[in-house]
Chains A and B, each alone.
Chain A
C-alpha cells in the first residue's frame, strides 16, 4: 500500500523538461527579481517628481515640439509597439540611420542611445528634439513654445518652482528633465520567465513546471551553450555596455556608422554631459563612467547590448533594424562569421551551430521575456493647471 502511494506521488509530481544544476539555478536567479529596485536619478532634480512626470508625459505626446508641428516623441516610440516603431530605421522629419530603440525600462540604463552618446536620460532626451532629421527644434524655439503656452507654463512653474525665464537653454534642459521623469515610469510587467525564476528561487517545483517545456530547454541554451548571458546579464538582460556583434555598419555605400567610437567622442565633448553645468548632483555620483570611459579603436562598430525584456513586440532587431524576427536574430548568432568581427576586437562570439530544435527552443525562451498585457494607458490630463 505504502509502495503504491509512493508510486502515485512520483507519477503525479510535476515534470520539468530540463533539470538545472546549482550553477545554472544561480545564473537564472541573477535575472531577477522583477521589477528590479530603482532609485531616482540624482542628476535630475525632478526625477520621480509627480508634476514633472505629468509635464513630461504631455511633452512626450506634444506635436508642437517639432519644427513642423506634426511630430512628437511618440512618432518613433509608440506605446503599442513596446515604445519603438516597428520600422527598420526610425523616421522623423527624415529617415535616420538607426532603428528606434525601445524606451521601456530605460531608467535602468547608464548609457543612452545605440552608441551611448549620452550619459543621462535627460541629455539623451535633448538629442531628438534638436536633431534636424527628428524634431528639428532648437533651444530658442522650444523655450518660445513653452513660454507661449499657458498650460505648459503653469506646469513648468509647478515642476521647477518658477515660471520659464529668459534662459532658453535652461528651459530646453528642464523640458528634457521632465521628459526623462516621464520615461522613467515606463517599466515592463512581469513575465512567464519571472514566475519561473521566482518559483525556482523558492523551490516550488509545481509552479516551475507551468513554464513551457520548450522555454525551459531554451533557457538552458541561453545560459549554457549559447552563453548569451555573458552580455545579456541581470534582471534587465543587458550589461548596458557595447559590443561588435558582426552586424554590418555601412549606413549607405561609402558611409559607415562608427557606433560606440563616435558615441564616446560625442559624450565626452558634450556640455550637457554629467560633468557639465546641468548635472543637478553636486557630488557627480553618477558621472564615474563619463569621467573614466576609454576610447579604443575596437569601439568602432560596437553598439549597445539591448535589453531582452518585451523583445517580442519591438521587432525589427539590431541597431540598424536589419533582422526581422527573433528567429533571424538567433540564426545570426548561430551562423556568425568570425571574419566579420574586428580582428583586434573581442573573441567572444563564435558560431553556435544550433540545431533547428535548439533554435526553436531559444526563440520560445525569448518569447517568455515579454509581459502579458498591462499596456500603457495614456491618462486624461486635467484641463486646467493653476
Chain B
C-alpha cells in the first residue's frame, strides 16, 4: 500500500517539477503543472518582461501569449521561447500595454492535443 502511494506521488507532475530560482507561481491543470516567474515582478503597464517557466510532464511544444478577454485583443508583441522538455523555458519580449484584466496563457501541445492553461493577471 505504502509502495503504491509512493509510486503515485512520484508519478504526479508536481513531485518532479522544478523551476530553479524560487518564487515561482503555480498553475495546475488536469494534465499539467506550470511553474512560472516573471521578470520584472510585479509587472507594469507598457513595460517589456520575460517569463521563465517549467511544464510537467514535458510537452512536445509550448507557446506563451497574453490576452485581454474583455477587450478582445492580445499583445502587440510576439514572444520568442527557448527551452525544451520540462524546462526551464524562457519567453522574452512580452508586454501588457493596457491596464486591466489580462490572461497569461501557456498553450501546451503533446500528442496532437493542445491545452490552454491560463492565469489571470490584474494590471493596475
Residues of A within 8 A of B (CB): 26-27, 30, 110, 229-231, 233-234, 239-242, 288-289, 291-294, 298, 345-348
The residue in chain A whose Cβ has the minimal distance to the Cβ of B68 is A346
The residue in chain A whose Cβ has the minimal distance to the Cβ of B75 is A294
Q: Are B70 and A292 in contact (CB under 8 A)?
A: no
The digit string for B49-83, where 1 denotes a CB below 8 A from any CB of A, is 00000000000000000000011110111111000
Closest Cβ of chain A to B118, distance in Å, is 19
Contact of B78 among A26, A27, A294 (CB under 8 A): A294
8 contacts between A and B (CB under 8 A): A233-B99, A239-B45, A241-B46, A288-B48, A292-B48, A292-B80, A346-B73, A347-B73
Q: Are A230 and B99 in contact (CB under 8 A)?
A: yes
Distance in angstroms between the alpha carbons of A231 and B68 in the assembled complex: 13
Dominant SS at the B interface? Answer: loop
A288 / chain B contacts, CB cutoff of 8 Å = 48, 92-93
Q: Are B46 and A240 in contact (CB under 8 A)?
A: yes
Dominant SS at the A interface? Answer: loop
Interface residues of B in 11-64 (CB under 8 A from A): 45-46, 48
Distance in angstroms between the alpha carbons of A12 and B45 in the assembled complex: 40
Q: Are B76 and A241 in contact (CB under 8 A)?
A: yes
The residue in chain A whose Cβ has the minimal distance to the Cβ of B123 is A233
| With A231-B98, A294-B76: A348-B71 Cβ-Cβ less than 8 Å | yes
Closest Cβ of chain B to A299, distance in Å, is 8
Q: Are B99 and A347 in contact (CB under 8 A)?
A: no
Q: Are A347 and B71 in contact (CB under 8 A)?
A: yes
Residue tally, chain B, CB below 8 Å to A:
22
Closest Cβ of chain B to A265, distance in Å, is 14
Which are the 10 A-B pairs with shortest beta-carbon distances?
A292-B93, A294-B78, A292-B77, A241-B97, A347-B72, A239-B46, A346-B73, A288-B48, A348-B71, A233-B45
| With A30-B124, A230-B99, A239-B45: A292-B72 Cβ-Cβ less than 8 Å | no
> B108 in the interface, Cβ–Cβ < 8 Å?
no
Q: Are A346 and B46 in contact (CB under 8 A)?
A: no
Q: Are A234 and B77 in contact (CB under 8 A)?
A: no
Distance in angstroms between the alpha carbons of A212 and B76 in the assembled complex: 38
Closest Cβ of chain B to A42, distance in Å, is 15
Q: Are B73 and A298 in contact (CB under 8 A)?
A: yes
Distance in angstroms between the alpha carbons of A27 and B98 in the assembled complex: 13
The residue in chain B whose Cβ has the minimal distance to the Cβ of A288 is B48
Distance in angstroms between the alpha carbons of A110 and B77 in the assembled complex: 14
Q: Are B45 and A289 in contact (CB under 8 A)?
A: no
Distance in angstroms between the alpha carbons of A346 and B94 in the assembled complex: 19
B77 / chain A contacts, CB cutoff of 8 Å = 289, 292-294
B70 / chain A contacts, CB cutoff of 8 Å = 347
Closest Cβ of chain B to A161, distance in Å, is 32
Q: Are A229 and B78 in contact (CB under 8 A)?
A: no
Q: Are A234 and B45 in contact (CB under 8 A)?
A: yes
Distance in angstroms between the alpha carbons of A293 and B80 in the assembled complex: 11
Interface centre among A30, A110, A229, A233 (most CB of B within 10 A): A233
The residue in chain A whose Cβ has the minimal distance to the Cβ of B94 is A292
A110 / chain B contacts, CB cutoff of 8 Å = 46
Q: Are A292 and B79 in contact (CB under 8 A)?
A: yes
The residue in chain A whose Cβ has the minimal distance to the Cβ of B70 is A347
Q: Are A239 and B93 in contact (CB under 8 A)?
A: no
Distance in angstroms between the alpha carbons of A298 and B74 in the assembled complex: 11
